[in-house]
Amino acid sequence: MKNTSVDKYLYIALFEVDEETEGYTVTYPDLPGCITEGNNLSEAMKNAREALELHLFNLEEDEEEIPEPTSIEVLIKENSECIFVPIEAYMKSIRVNLYSKSTSKNVSLPYWLKKLAEKENINFSETLQEALREKLNISYLGIKDYKNNKVYKDKNYS
C-alpha cells in the first residue's frame, strides 16, 4: 500500500509478557523492525502507538511500500501466546508534529555581515526562515506536507 495520503492506519500489535520483568514487548508482524516495550501495560500501549506512527512516517518519508495489515484471524493462528491489540496511527497529527519541529542548519556568513547583524540584534534563525519562505514563494505560516501537497496549520502560529 504505497499511499502517503492516508491519514489513519490500523495494525494489530502483538504484546508479549516478559516473565522476568513483568513488562511487555510489542511487535507488529506486518512491519519488520517496528518494536517497542513498556514496563507495564499502560506504558507499552503508549509506546506501541508512538512506534507505529514513527515507523509509518519513516516509510512514507522514504517512499517505501506500506504493507496491508494482516487480519487478526491469521495472526491468532500464528501467534497464540500473544495478546492482540489493535493500534491506530493518526498520521495527520504525527506529520504536523514532525514537520513543525525545528532543525538546526549551520550557515556561513562573511564576518562583517555577522557583526552588523549582531549589532542590530537580528535574529538569524527568523531571518533565514523569512528569506527561505520568500525564495520558495511560501506565504502561509503553516506546515507543508511536501509529499502530499497539504498544508497543516503550525501550532506555533495561532
Query: How far, in Å, CA of 135 to CA of 115, rounded?
Result: 24
Domain boundaries, the chain: 8-97, 102-153
E strands, the chain, are 8-17, 24-27, 35-38, 83-90, 142-145, 150-153
63-106 per-position pLDDT tens digit: 999 999 999 899 988 887 889 999 999 998 888 888 878 888 89
- The sign of the CA dihedral 107, 122, 97, 154 is negative
Instruction: State percent of the chain over pLDDT 90.
Output: 56
Query: How far, in Å, CA of 91 to CA of 11, rounded?
Result: 13
- Contact criterion met (CB below 8 Å) for 152 and 146: no
Query: What is the pTM assigned to this prediction?
Result: 0.71
Give me the pLDDT at residue 119, please: 96
- Provide the terminal-to-terminal Cα distance of the chain, rounded to the nearest Å: 35
- Contact criterion met (CB below 8 Å) for 57 and 91: yes
Q: Per-residue pLDDT for 147 more than 60? A: no
Give, in order, the Cα–Cα distances in Å from 20 to each of 39, 45, 82, 122: 11, 19, 16, 57
pLDDT band at 52 (very low <50, low <70, confident <90, very high): very high
pLDDT band at 3 (very low <50, low <70, confident <90, very high): low
Q: Per-residue pLDDT for 142 more than 90? A: no
Specify the fold of 8-97: Double Stranded RNA Binding Domain (3.30.160)
Q: How many CB atoms lie within 10 A of CB 35?
A: 16
